[in-house]
Amino acid sequence: MKDALTGLDRYEVFLEKLQKELDQIGDDEIVIIYTDIKHFKYINDTYGYKVGDSLLKEFVAEFTKNNDVLIGASRVYSDNFVTANRICADSYTHNEFCDIIKRLNHDWETKFREKYLNSRLQFCTGISFVNKKSRSLDAETAVSNANLARKVAKEMEDSCCVLFDQSMMEGIKREVEITSCIPKALADREFKIFFQPKIETDTMSLMGAEALLRWQKPDGSLIYPDEFIPFIERSGQIVEVDYYVYREVFRFLAERIKNGKRVVPISLNVSRIHLNQMHILEYVEKLFEEYQIPHSMVEFELTESIYLDNTERVLELIRGLHKIGTKVSLDDFGSGYSSLNLLSKLPIDIIKLDKVFLSEGNLQESDKVIISCVVDMAKKLQITSLCEGVETVEQSNYLKEVGCQVQQGFYFSRPIPQEVFEKFIDESL
């Protein structure tokens, strides 16, 4: 029983082969390597499924080269692959073996990126070992461990290969703990909206803010987004949480307008999962109808990585938001390989230069050149430029010098609670 496209064993056959090896394991080790191709969907969307299938076949040929130690290989699904190999226990340390896989991943990435320009292909790999000490593991658990390590690798920007260790199981427990608490946290209004001001460069005055989420537990402690957002994105709960944020922001704006107070545009973040649930447009329209606030008072931010998931859906979403009457910004601009390509394809209103360009206290000359060029290009394309991560007066002055229209960062304000932000607005008049 073979996979029709790749000729590899079907997954259930692979597990049977692996289990037989595990049952009779001797002095050797068995290493399970679980790999997927990050941003593979971009290839299918950009070049077509025929090209995508060809890439998978090429990858499989590379992935299964060492037939002398290969126990079996399988295409688990789509662009997810697993192999089991037999190696001499004292041939390599586990870290040395991981380094070998990292080099292989890098070689594959170089090869395929040359062929498929702007693809941002990355191979994310998880590795688990089974030896005499762990021979009680069954095949499914051994593969699951490698897959868990692969998921960890996929979440990391600086690593393409991760070794499984038991501490990862603690991460799973934490994920279950957090996701199980989300419904009650929403019901009890434990999620709080913080606002980070946006400053107009020419006047150095408040011209907007970004809505950010904090989770305040009953004891007053805060859980920051980088801890819980990845979990709720994977669980699908991010949609419900996003809608909670949207409603809170609309309510905030409506209340200030009702009381005759000044309002400024608030930008809301859009999760990639919304691309698969396009009722976001219907929901936003209902909010505008319910709260009767000007459409110009709400903007939406999409990260450039979202584009790689589904080009057509992103375009559909942007057009839909424009039809409603809201502006759309491209967040984290410059953090990926496809930024310039995006500008030619996406009808965006604002680009937010990634804070990576301001990562140094003293601006590097290369960063200055890039910032200046991006700002100039945005002007010519009639797109507003915003630079985030501003932390020093020197950075702010340079952005003013090159004509960056909007700034955001700790130099002006950290994200602040609603009541503090209201004072910020009132005092900025």
Domains of the chain from N-terminus onward? 11-165 (3.30.70.270), 173-427 (3.20.20.450)
Q: Who has greater pLDDT, 309 or 25?
A: 25
How far is it, in rounded angstroms, from Cα 35 to Cα 173? 23
How far is it, in rounded angstroms, from Cα 145 to Cα 126? 8
Does residue 336 carry a pLDDT above 70? Answer: no
Report pLDDT digits (tens) over 300-321: 998 877 766 567 788 888 999 9
CB 304 within 8 A of CB 330: yes
According to DSSP, the residues that pair with 7 across neighbouring strands are: none
Single-letter code of the amino acid located at 308? L
425's tokens: 């607005």
**pLDDT class of 68 with cuts at 50, 70, 90:** low
| Residue 62, pLDDT score | 80
Q: How many Å separate Cα 300 from the centre of its chain?
A: 16
333's tokens: 């601009």
**pLDDT class of 157 with cuts at 50, 70, 90:** low
DSSP state letters, 22-60: HHT--SSEEEEEEEEEETHHHHHHHH-HHHHHHHHHHHH
Look at 159-173, 225-239, 326-340, 375-389 and tell me which has the smallest mean pLDDT.
Answer: 326-340
Percent of the chain with pLDDT over 70: 92
| Residue 211, pLDDT score | 97
Mean pLDDT (whole number) for 22-30: 84
3-state secondary structure of 167: helix
Q: Who has greater pLDDT, 409 or 101?
A: 409
| Residue 256, pLDDT score | 96
| Residue 413, pLDDT score | 95
